[in-house]
Structure 1
Amino acid sequence: MKRRRDNNEALAVFIANKAGIDTMLARLAALSANHFDADPASVNWGHVGTLEFYASQLKRITDSAFHEGEHAE
């Protein structure tokens, strides 16, 4: 009985975390569709640096999720 309860609790936390990730991904997709709130006529190297930082953080996540880069098997 205890094992079933532990699995149910783990599943509930997993689903909550997944929902949080889905929300973050949707927000990022919307921000990307809006050029990360940058006016294309006013883009400067600061915008480039910010976007490179975002990309590097996302690459860490995708490398881990897909077993690529430093996480390759």
Structure 2
Amino acid sequence: MVRHTQSGPPCTTAETTMVDRTARAARNQERSLAAFLVKKAEFDALLAEFTQASEDHFGANPETVLWGEAAWLSDASAKLKDIADQHFRRGEYAC
């Protein structure tokens, strides 16, 4: 009978799978963070644009503003409110 000796403990498939999963999870987290930061920069740029536009009354002349401008601002505000409600879990998004 021939016996083969092994040097060190054998690497099991379960151990290899765990290492692979951990490495994949780390790469996935890095890619997720990179994508998040790109979208955050885009979001911040949009907020800056809207802040500037708001300071300029969204281009509306206070002397000649009509219902169209008021309706647009109402619609835009409702959309922003919905986004805020989602993020802060208010209204229909409350837990």
User: Shared fold by TM > 0.5?
Assistant: yes
Question: Which runs of at least 4 in structure 1 moved beyond 2 Å after TM superposition?
Answer: none
SS in 2 for 1:40: coil
TM-score (norm 1): 0.96
1:11 alignment partner in structure 2: 33
For residue 44 of structure 1, report the CA deviation from its aligned partner. Answer: 0.5
Distance of 1:2 and 1:72 partners within structure 2:
34
Residue correspondences, number:
73
Higher share of residues assigned helix: 1
Counterpart AA for 2:54: S
What is the CA distance between 1:69 and its match in structure 2? 1.2
Q: Specify the SS of the correspondent of 2:74.
A: helix
Q: Which residue of 1 aligns with 2:54?
A: 32
CA distance in 2, matches of 1:11, 1:43: 43
* 1:68 equivalent in structure 2: 90
CA RMSD in angstroms, aligned pairs only: 0.7
Partners of 1:25 and 1:69 in 2: how far apart? Answer: 23
Identity of aligned residues (%): 36
Q: TM-score, normalised by structure 2?
A: 0.74
After superposition, the C-alpha distances for 1:42-70 in whole angstroms (9 at most, x for unaligned) are 11001110000110100110000101111
